[in-house]
Amino acid sequence: MLLQLLSVLWEALSLQVILVFLATFLLLSGYKSRPKDFPPGPIALPLLGNALSLDLKKTHLSVQKLSEKYGNVISLQFGNLWFVIVNGLHLVKEVLVHQGENFVDRPSVPLDDEVFKKLGLLFSNGPGWKQQRRFALSTLRNFGLGKRSLEERIQEESRYLTDAIEAENGQPFNPHFQINNAVSNIICSITFGNRFEYHDSRFQKLLKLLDEATYLQGSRGQLYDLFPTLMKHLPGSHQTILKNWEQLRSFVKEIIEEHKKDWNPSESRDFIDAYLNEMAKGDAAPSFHEENLLHSTQDLFFAGTETTSTTLRWALLYMAIYPEIQAKVQAEIDSVIGQSRQPAMDDRDSMPYTNAVIHEVQRISNIVPLNVPRMTTKDTIVAGFRVPKGTIMLANLTSLHFDKDEWETPNVFNPGHFLENGQFKKKEAFLPFSAGKRVCLGEQLARTELFLFFTALIQKFTFQAPKNETLSCEFRMGLTLSPLPYRICAFSR
């Protein structure tokens, strides 16, 4: 563990610089002591806090021993930041739903602040967040959420995707960027008004930048978060993260400029047009300005691409690893849809097995393991402990998705978790989109995409490991848990 931290440190600066810096920092920074009645946790070191007890590659699992020792509410210190982590369905719902109002803010984390500027949807707070979120939700709805048009867009994109995979001719390939592109095209068509061809090299490059930033920010952002003022001036992966986001933003900016040129207030083509209309209103809320347009668009693009695409990559991997489960999905597709038409949302209710498989993929792949961080808006009591205003709250979704009392075989891929007498069964301990006032804004969109893309792929192909290669369910820790890069063969059915 220490070695890992050192290697991260080493990557950015020499040991001597670190030592000199640490000494200065120790002298200058006041050591904050544990608040009264704070949840229990390991003793924090003045400088690094509990950074040393966190395994940077498996943050969501690394505190296992701590929860055995301290219970379901644990506190940790990381630099100047205080964290509380809650485990188990009862407490997770307590903080996200029952006392949700007190945990509705996002914390200030240096690297996130640098990238997201506390604007937009993901990392904004207060009235600005409320206004942007309400607007984004209603606009997503107007551009097809729950309506035919969105379904048709996804069906059309599924055809492009299956054509591209067909062209691989059953040879081993890494489906990462084709899936990424297909998924991204859906949110692009809602926000920008158009999709991008899979061989558009500029767009492919952007997707790679986004993927790299997502990975690095989750795995290498910690050092920046500990020493932001210093790190800003030093080389290292944090500079790559910042540079990638900058390029993504200038891409979005360009698209916004193009929209402004041919903007017609009487005809909204997409999210950007609708936003420009909102800004032009005399009585628009103050948060509707150009910077926020940029950030809300960027957030939709980012949140709408990485998560769903990662989930689909897990889904194909599990299908190749469990051929008998894949065969059952195919049997259900053949009996409900057949081969002559595309899957539609109306089919989902008649396809309990396929629906259960998609849910099980989301449960076991657990891509947002500790939820997106929240922060207390006021002093709050949780399970008898005092959590002061400004404390970072992590709802451990992993503790729900692998709870021995909720799932028959928590560590084994088993669609039976979501089935009862052959019917689909909802589970309370399944919260991949989180819950409460900040629940994933794209949940409905994501669920629509997962069903239509997944079913279309399994309708057309059988996925298998390449000859002499074994597929692994090992994950890579970034902002999301994603599969290690893999190759797969898609055989036409």
Ligand X SMILES: *[C@@H]1O[C@H](CO)[C@@H](O)[C@H](O)[C@H]1NC(C)=O
Specify the pairing of strand 380-382 against strand 385-387: antiparallel
Cβ atoms 387, 395 nearer than 8 A = no
**Site membership for ligand HEM, residue 230 (CB under 6 A):** no
Q: How far is CA 103 from CA 95, 268, 332, in A?
A: 7, 35, 42
Of the two residues 133 and 259, which places its CB atom closer to ligand HEM in the complex? 133
Q: Name the minimum Å distance from CB 202 to ligand HEM.
A: 22
Nearest Cα to Cα of residue 195 among 305, 299, 116, 292: 305
Considering only 30-38, 219-227, 338-346, 431-439, which stretch makes contact with ligand HEM by CB under 6 A? 431-439
Q: Name the minimum Å distance from CB 451 to ligand HEM.
A: 11
- Which structure tokens are listed for 247? 């390029």
Nearest Cα to Cα of residue 220 among 208, 232, 200, 238: 238
Of the two residues 34 and 130, which places its CB atom closer to ligand HEM in the complex? 130
Q: In the block, which residue shows the tokens 């020493």? A: 227
Q: Name the minimum Å distance from CB 434 to ligand HEM.
A: 3
Q: In the block, which residue shows the tokens 């103050």? A: 286
3-state per-residue secondary structure call for 74-88: EEEEECCEEEEEECC
Q: Name the minimum Å distance from CB 444 to ligand HEM.
A: 9
Helices (H), 263-322: 271-280, 290-321
Q: Consult the annotation and say whether 440 binds a ligand.
A: yes
For the segment 367-426, give every residue that binds ligand HEM (CB under 6 A). Answer: 367-368, 371-372
Q: How many Cβ atoms from other residues are within 10 Å of residue 113's Cβ?
A: 15
Q: Name the minimum Å distance from CB 332 to ligand X.
A: 31
- Which structure tokens are listed for 374? 């929240």
Site string for ligand HEM, 305-334 (x = CB under 6 A): --xx--x-----------------------
**Site membership for ligand HEM, residue 300 (CB under 6 A):** yes
Helices (H), 322-372: 323-336, 352-365
**Site membership for ligand HEM, residue 481 (CB under 6 A):** no
For the segment 442-471, give every residue that binds ligand HEM (CB under 6 A). Answer: 442, 445-446
For the segment 82-141, give every residue that binds ligand HEM (CB under 6 A). Answer: 121-122, 133
Residue 102 binds: one of ligand HEM, ligand X, none (C-beta under 5 to 8 A by kind): none
| DSSP 8-state assignment for residue 485 | P
Q: One-letter amino acid identity for 222?
A: Q
Selected binder of ligand HEM within 187, 226, 471, 489 (CB under 6 A): 187
Selected binder of ligand HEM within 375, 441, 477, 490 (CB under 6 A): 441
Selected binder of ligand HEM within 433, 453, 461, 463 (CB under 6 A): 433
- The beta-strand segments (E) located in 79-225 are 81-86
Length of the chain: 493
What CA–CA distance (Å, rounded) separates 17 from 13? 7
Q: Name the minimum Å distance from CB 52 to ligand X.
A: 15
Q: Name the minimum Å distance from CB 40 to ligand X.
A: 12
Residue 396 binds: one of ligand HEM, ligand X, none (C-beta under 5 to 8 A by kind): ligand X
Q: Name the minimum Å distance from CB 455 to ligand X.
A: 31
Q: Name the minimum Å distance from CB 448 to ligand HEM.
A: 9
Residue 85 binds: one of ligand HEM, ligand X, none (C-beta under 5 to 8 A by kind): ligand X
Residue 402 binds: one of ligand X, ligand HEM, none (C-beta under 5 to 8 A by kind): ligand X
Of the two residues 303 and 400, which places its CB atom closer to ligand HEM in the complex? 303
Q: Is the dihedral of CA 313, 314, 316, 317 positive or negative?
A: positive
**Site membership for ligand HEM, residue 184 (CB under 6 A):** no
Query: What is the number of helices (H) and of strands (E) in the chain?
Result: 18, 12
Cβ atoms 430, 363 nearer than 8 A = yes
Contacting positions for ligand X (CB under 6 A): 60-61, 63-64, 67, 74, 85, 87, 396, 398-399, 402, 467-468
Selected binder of ligand HEM within 44, 272, 329, 440 (CB under 6 A): 440
Q: Is the dihedral of CA 342, 345, 351, 352 positive or negative?
A: positive
Of the two residues 271 and 461, which places its CB atom closer to ligand HEM in the complex? 271
Helices (H), 103-147: 110-116, 126-142
Residue 67 binds: one of ligand X, ligand HEM, none (C-beta under 5 to 8 A by kind): ligand X
Phi-psi region at 81: left, alpha or beta (left = phi > 0; alpha = psi -120 to 50)? beta
Q: Find all residues with CB under 8 Å of 71, minimum gap 6, and list them.
A: 40
Q: Find all residues with CB under 8 Å of 219, minimum gap 6, and list them.
A: 56, 57, 476, 477, 478
Residue 398 binds: one of ligand HEM, ligand X, none (C-beta under 5 to 8 A by kind): ligand X
Nearest Cα to Cα of residue 442 among 384, 390, 372, 352: 372
Of the two residues 191 and 414, which places its CB atom closer to ligand HEM in the complex? 191
Annotated binding site for heme: 440
Q: Which residues bind ligand HEM (CB under 6 A)?
A: 121-122, 133, 187, 299-300, 303-304, 307-308, 311, 367-368, 371-372, 432-434, 438-442, 445-446
Annotated binding site: 440
